[in-house]
Amino acid sequence: MLTALAETGADWSHGYDLCRALGLKAGTVYPILIRLFERGLVETSWETDPPRGRPARHLYRLTTAGAELARTVAAPAPAGDGAPAPGAARLAPRTT
């Protein structure tokens, strides 16, 4: 998810486009986007000028912290180091 959003740079993405790009269903993508938003890694906005006849859609893009985490997660791990990528634990579901 982070890398898909990182590929768009500072541009906004529609959730539907993310579903198609990732090959995932909305029931998977949207809960992840909500968790990323709650953790300050994604910002959201409503589409300001939707095409006539279609309701406004929610838009998503990485925050600065989200872009930094995407770069960290995408960086290759040192050879032989079985440790998870730095920041990977921040993406794990909360257990409360």
For the chain, state the CA radius of gyration: 15
pLDDT tens profile 69-96: 998 888 776 765 566 655 555 555 555 4
pLDDT tens profile 24-59: 999 999 999 999 999 999 999 999 888 899 888 999
- Cα separation, 58 vs 80, in Å, equals 41
Map out the domains of the chain as residue ranges.
2-73
Range 2-73: architecture per CATH: Orthogonal Bundle (1.10)
Average pLDDT over residues 9-34: 92
Report residue 53: phi and psi, to 5°: 90, 0
